[in-house]
Amino acid sequence: MQAMSADTERALRLRLMRDFPYYAQAALRIRSKSGAIVPLVLNAAQRYLHGRLEAQKTQTGMVRALILKGRQQGCSTYVGGRFYHRTTHGRGIRTFILTHGNDATQNLFEMVQRFHEHNLPELKPSVGTSNRKELIFSALDSGYRVGTAGSQDVGRSSTVQLFHGSEVAFWPNAEKHAAGVMQAIPSEPGTEIILESTANGMGNFYHRKWQQAERGEDAFQAIFVPWYWQDEYAAPVREDFSLSEEEAEYQAAYGLTLEQMAWRREKVRELGDLLFKQEYPANPAEAFQVTGTNSFIKPELVLRARKTTPGRSYGAVVAGFDPAQIEDAGDRDAFVFRQGLTLFGLEYHRMGFAEKLGFLTRKLEAGVPRIDMLFIDFGGGGHELASMLIERGFGGRVRVVNFGAAASEPQKYANRRAEMWDRCRAWLADDDAPACIPDDDALHADLVAPGFKYDSRTRLQLESKDDIRARGLASPDGGDAMVLTFAEPVYREHVVGSARNRAKTDYKVL
């Protein structure tokens, strides 16, 4: 630091301690992709991560985050810099880094050592121990340890305040590591657990943890970083370059430039469509796609509906309620409205029977929006709920639906569930009347979860919930609530002048 007044120096040191983006640019050095040693200037993905983590820290006093991202977006670098900043600005801070392989462990630890080597002399604490697995700042009683997720007992021995799990989807023995390492981190203010990874299929520890975070089932927040935030993910556009219909829809959905689309095309050609989505996802549902699963509702239809701007809706207001199966701890109650081309008001809850009854009673009593028909799934106590709501005077506005019952078109569908899901798919696929649904990752995952086949009578048969769970996916509660709004046509009667008219919400929806 140049010579300055005592007050100016104190103000600068205070900013360096409190303002990590400023500190990173001033004090931290990284090796760029070209090999040069340059200041750590946070990119778009890193700034977004910083905002999300700081907001959680302000709200809860701790950080518990799960980060899903594409290749080489700087997330590990950001976490490394964040933890170096905290470790060298506090006393008694123990930081542990666990990666999926020896090379990754060495690379992340070398990054920390590079931070220290190039740090400003005035900010660099003295080192007591430095070897391949430890970096201890003796005067602060703070420091680092690193490990590789090979041994089942790694990370169990000591208390840790800051934990960075890198490429968690690729850890062997992931459940045991999580049970061991995370037990070493107290639920105290100032502690941080950050787990980051690219996707590696469904059903593994990381995917299950992501589902829990996405659905708000534990203290972890789900943070997704799309590939197109990287400025370098762009390529020159040739004069004869033109987009296919699928590419044009993709570009419009995410607001991408032609240069980004040219880069994407080259990567898809190199990796194939499925692997590109896993390695460079644009949304979480893409990241977790796996070969061999043929989604009944195509992700492209869901994406289009997520990005459609809601317009004015007409017709009856229909609600769907999918009550949780009481014996299934991972199931949730899901509720949603649909009017015309717009789905809205999606809610998830975990409620006892009395709470469900009170919740639905309040929804039916509300005047805005006034529910013309509420469809309730038969299972999970739905039949009893419907009976009690009818007793309370809502008989003309409540229907119970048995997903396993015969379809109204039994020659086409194996059961009513397949029929309703097909009506929902057709609603989403209508190019002339684009549907609008909440821009919600969990709903997106629900809608693309079920696979399908045709039975011996060539009737559509949807993958069962048990089979979906066996693939490591959560029960598609929000999707089931949505398709319940397609159980049957609903009419709303209203008076205009002296004439009585009927406005209908049909499967196509007016």
Per residue in 383-418, pLDDT (tens digit) is 999 999 999 999 899 999 999 999 999 999 999 999
Topology adopted by domain 6-225: Rossmann fold (3.40.50)
Report how far residue 171's alpha carbon sits from residue 444's, in angstroms, rounded to the nearest whole number: 27
Q: Do domains 6-225 and 299-505 have the same CATH topology?
A: no
- Alpha-carbon separation of residue 124 from 30, 79, 138, 139 (angstroms): 16, 19, 12, 11
CB atoms near residue 217 (< 10 Å): 16
| Domain extent listing, the chain | 6-225, 245-287, 299-505
CA distance 269 to 291: 17
Chain centre to alpha carbon of residue 161: 26
Q: pLDDT by residue (tens digit) across 163-179? A: 999 999 888 888 888 87
**3-class SS of residue 291:** coil
Task: Give the integer Cα–Cα distance in Å for 358 and 364.
Answer: 10
Look up tokens 């100016």; give the residue.
8
d(CA 330, CA 212): 9
Listed in sequence order, the residues at least 6 apart from 207 whose beta carbon sits closer than 8 Å to its beta carbon are: 169, 199, 200, 201, 288, 472
Amino acid at 318: V
Report the distance separating Cα 190 and Cα 83, nearest Å.
Answer: 12
CATH number of 299-505: 3.30.420.240
Alpha helices by DSSP H, 62-130: 75-87, 102-118
pLDDT digits (tens, 9 = 90+) for 259-301: 999 999 999 999 888 889 888 999 988 888 654 457 899 888 8
Residue 43's CB is within 10 A of a number of other CB atoms, namely: 17
pLDDT the model gives residue 177: 80
pLDDT number for residue 488: 93
pLDDT for res 500: 42
For residue range 38-87, what is the model confidence (pLDDT) as tens digits?
A: 999 999 999 999 999 999 999 999 999 999 998 889 999 999 999 999 99
Token pair for residue 318? 């229909």
What are the beta bridge partners of residue 148?
Answer: 99
Task: Dig out the tokens for 387 from the structure.
Answer: 């009976």
Distance CA 115, CA 78 (A): 12
pLDDT tier at 502 (50, 70, 90 boundaries)? very low
Q: Is 309's pLDDT higher than 90?
A: no
Mean pLDDT for 428-449 is: 90
Cα-based distances in Å from 152 to 199, 201, 461: 22, 22, 42
Question: Rounded to an integer, what distance in angstroms lies between the CA atom of residue 156 and that of residue 35?
Answer: 36
DSSP state of 200: -
251 secondary structure, DSSP code: H
Q: Is the pLDDT of residue 153 over 60?
A: no
Element housing 212 (H / E)? helix 205-214
Asked whether 437 and 209 are in contact (CB, 8 A), the reply is: no
Looking at the chain, how many residues does it have?
Answer: 510
| CA quadruple 211, 214, 219, 224: dihedral, nearest 10 | 110
Give alpha helix (H) positions in 28-171.
44-60, 75-87, 102-118
DSSP state of 379: T
Question: Model confidence over 322-375: pLDDT tens digits?
Answer: 998 755 556 789 999 999 999 999 999 989 999 999 999 999 999 889 999 999
d(CA 494, CA 510): 16
Q: How far apart are CA 389 and CA 395, in angstroms?
A: 7
Q: How would residue 1 be classed by pLDDT, with cut points 50, 70 and 90?
A: low
Find all residues with CB under 8 Å of 277, minimum gap 6, and list them: 286, 287, 289
Q: Per DSSP, what are the bridge partners of residue 295?
A: 451
pLDDT of residue 290: 53
Higher-scoring residue by pLDDT: 34, 483: 483
